[in-house]
Structure 1
Amino acid sequence: MEKCPDRFNRGGHAPLREMKVAWSGAGAILAGVGLARFAYVPLFPAMVAAGWVDGAGAGLLGAGNFAGYLLGVLAGRGLARRIGVPRAMDAGMALALLAFAACAHEGGLAWLLAWRALAGVAGGVLMALAGPAVQASVTAAARGQAGGVVMAGAGSGIIAAGLLVPVLLQGGLVVAWLGLAVAVGLVWIVARRAWPDPPALPASAAAAKVPRAGRLLLAYGLSAAGMVAPMVYLADLAVRGRGLPIEAGAAVWMGFGAGAVAGTLLGGRVASRIGGRRALPAWMAVQVAALALALVPAWPALLLAGPLGGFAGVGATAVTLAAAREVAGAQAGVVWVRATAGYALAQAGFGFALAALFGATGDSHAAVFGVGLALSLAALAVAWADRRG
């Protein structure tokens, strides 16, 4: 039986102490992913309307963030080995705050692209470290629930962005970007008091062969590619595609966030009961439904497409995190980094491809969401084939 670190065995309060660490991990994901990555989605139409970028440029900023996220994922474990997990997570939070503040300057497309990419680096570092570090810091029985709590930070950040951005935009884009920087700083202050600090793996465990888990990684990567369309263009679809006001676009994005919270919390619990690889096809089926609904011309379909997209596209992270632990045990961190890197690579590649497609088709939302639907169907097929491991 795996032992929990000593700091969770003192005083008989293990569940409470474990959940404090899980919630601190959720704070890291809230800031680094929910805000640093996804607060841009409700800002997308406002950036275009204010003339800071055009539609294709706004899509390019989203793709640049995905590319930075990939770099952060690949760098996260190495950074943690050099300076420790808590300091590496502090570095990610600091970079996210700085990137938001820098975007308050209208420095042109190249300036914004560089800082949105660095915001992605911050999110990638935090995503690579928070989930595995929390799971390595809690008892085996608590891992499913803790993993769901950590990944619920993404959905919570999306909801926070949906609430904050319309209010902040009343003061203009500069105020909006600076306000988001302040929000990251506040989350950082609260969360860092319980940063996970897992023990290092024994040399024998670190040297053990890591299972490949090819179909699991492929399904997760295809899911990532399919989710590029809603994760970049959903609010713009509501505003410029369906003629709704910016506040309605933010509300649709908040629905995405609410679905993400539900999908991650439920994903952790379901994966604990039946296994992550058996649960993943259900989440992929919901993703297919979400992308199909986004293609329905009537705007009320977005009221379902948003929550279902968040439930599946973000909730799949908790399911895949649990599956990585099933596949690799103590080496789950390595499989998780591979899965997250594949996710980031797929989103970066398809982010740039869809930005080009969006511009070439005259800002056609149907084109980008149609590609997303096809990729989601492929993810469902692979996850179904892998369900028995």
Structure 2
Amino acid sequence: MRSSNSLPGARDNRLQWPVLAGLCASLVGIGLARFAYTPLIPELIRAHWFSANDAVGLGAANLVGYLIGALSGRPMARRLTNRNALRLMMLAVSLAFFACAFPLSVGWYFGWRLLSGIAGGAIMVLVAATVLPHVPAERKGLASGAIFLGIGLGIAGSGTIVPPLLGLGLQATWLGLGALSLLLTALSWFGWPSEPSSCGTGSAEASPAAPLPKGVYLLFAQYAFMAAGLVPAMVFLVDYVARGLGAGAPAGAFVWIMYGLGAILGPVSHGFLADRLGARTGIRLVLAVQAITLGLLSVSHSVVALASLAVLLGSFPPGIVPLALARVHELVPGHDLQQTAWSRATVSFATFQALAGFASSALFNASGGNHVLLFLTAGGALAVALLLELAARRLPSSIGRQRCLS
């Protein structure tokens, strides 16, 4: 009999561990490795570790690494197995945190931020393919939400853990993040399944060499614009509140905590939307809400209003992942082909995320630190993604509803 306190998507208590391991991996590789840097940017500048331009550029290094990791994740797993690759990437993030406690040079920092991004990209490609084959089809949306909840917990944790650590100094903050990452790596170490379970063989299973359905390429484009749309708030929200509006670091930290609250709610709520409404309808709804929210962010100056908007904004980066994954499963039949499609979707996302990171930095510097311009540009990118989703009405909702992984 299934335990009432099982994590979403677990068949029995034994499957709690793979889902928990996946949560830890997304928490370390993305939640902390990427998002803990955002509230550190003002302090890195104030402590004169780096100039404002360098601090923002170092944030983009993680996004470039994410692209490299998305490209190299599956080849790495073929050599090491999925679980060993995931373990190695979590260890790499921990090491990068410890190394960042010593600001030897911009190049040193860039290299370690790049490595943490590589680890995050590889984890994103591998974690769902490692865990979800063990989850019943009707619960995959919630299960993927539980896995990627780690991203939201990392965002929330960066807003609650980083400020007290900063009271001990920047170096202590980086060392503390490294210790936490190492602890989570140890917690997940034996939770990984050895390899994906088989859903059966025969004509239902597509060959990994088979061409992808045409509809999935539209999703790749759409997912790319989603990536571009989430970067400005993800990177500049705290700086906008703290320095742009002159509200100070405590107000920036408060808004970031609210962003983190939204990030906690996002994965499971968006996964629920995928299970109940379908991924296509869920994506349309979420894109419309996010585009409107970014528009409101551009004209809001009250900390209370910004905190409320931050909850909605925070739900998007981790929440869109289970929705996009569910859409891949709707469009693509067969476990192997789904893995291929998800890997390519992640690469598309990572490419535009990295481009958006550097473009946002360049636009920020060229505009004299105009945060509002960045937020309006992000809203435009999400509007394009929404238009692509509306164009998808002319394409079939699914290509043969074969659901091995879905």
Give TM-score scaled by structure 2 length. 0.89
Helix, strand or coil for the counterpart of 1:207?
Answer: coil
Aligned partner of 2:340 among 334, 337, 343: 334
Q: How do residues 284-295 of structure 1 correspond to structure 2 at under 5 angstroms?
A: 284-295=287-298
1:105 equivalent in alignment to 2:102 = yes
1:282 equivalent in alignment to 2:288 = no
Query: Corresponding residue for 1:40?
Result: 37
Deviation string for 1:231-272 (max 9, x for gaps)? 111111111112223232222122122212212101112211
Query: Corresponding residue for 1:7?
Result: none
Query: Corresponding residue for 2:208?
Result: 206
Aligned partner of 2:22 among 3, 11, 25: 25
Query: Corresponding residue for 1:252?
Result: 255
Distance 1:238 1:200 in 2: 47
Say which is worse superposed, 342-351 or 131-140, in terms of deviation.
131-140
Change (3 A) 1:161 1:313: same
The answer to whether the Cα contact below 8 Å between 1:155 and 1:260 also exists between their aligned partners in 2 is yes
Query: Corresponding residue for 1:182?
Result: 179
Query: Corresponding residue for 2:168?
Result: 171
1:369 equivalent in alignment to 2:372 = no
Amino acid at match of 1:134: V
| Unaligned 5+ runs, structure 2 | 1-9, 398-406
Q: State the Cα distance separating 1:158 from its structure 2 match.
A: 0.7
The answer to whether the Cα contact below 8 Å between 2:30 and 2:154 also exists between their aligned partners in 1 is yes
Query: Corresponding residue for 2:319?
Result: 315
Query: Corresponding residue for 1:4?
Result: none
Moved over 6 A (4+): 200-204
Q: State the Cα distance separating 1:200 from its structure 2 match.
A: 7.2
1:53 equivalent in alignment to 2:50 = yes
The answer to whether the Cα contact below 8 Å between 1:290 and 1:304 also exists between their aligned partners in 2 is no
1:233 equivalent in alignment to 2:236 = yes
Q: State the Cα distance separating 1:204 from its structure 2 match.
A: 6.3
1:378 equivalent in alignment to 2:384 = yes
Distance 1:379 1:254 in 2: 27
Helix, strand or coil for the counterpart of 2:104?
Answer: coil
Say which is worse superposed, 286-295 or 72-81, in terms of deviation.
286-295
Deviation string for 1:105-144 (max 9, x for gaps)? 1122222111111110111111111122211222222212
Give TM-score scaled by structure 1 length. 0.92
Distance 1:211 1:31 in 2: 33
Change (3 A) 1:141 1:198: farther
Helix, strand or coil for the counterpart of 2:358?
Answer: helix
Distance 2:179 2:42 in 1: 22
Aligned partner of 2:307 among 303, 319, 327: 303
Name the one with the larger helix percent: 1
Helix, strand or coil for the counterpart of 1:227?
Answer: helix
Distance 2:262 2:130 in 1: 25
Say which is worse superposed, 239-248 or 88-97, in terms of deviation.
239-248
Change (3 A) 1:31 1:248: same
Distance 1:147 1:249 in 2: 30
The answer to whether the Cα contact below 8 Å between 2:233 and 2:313 also exists between their aligned partners in 1 is yes
1:348 equivalent in alignment to 2:354 = yes
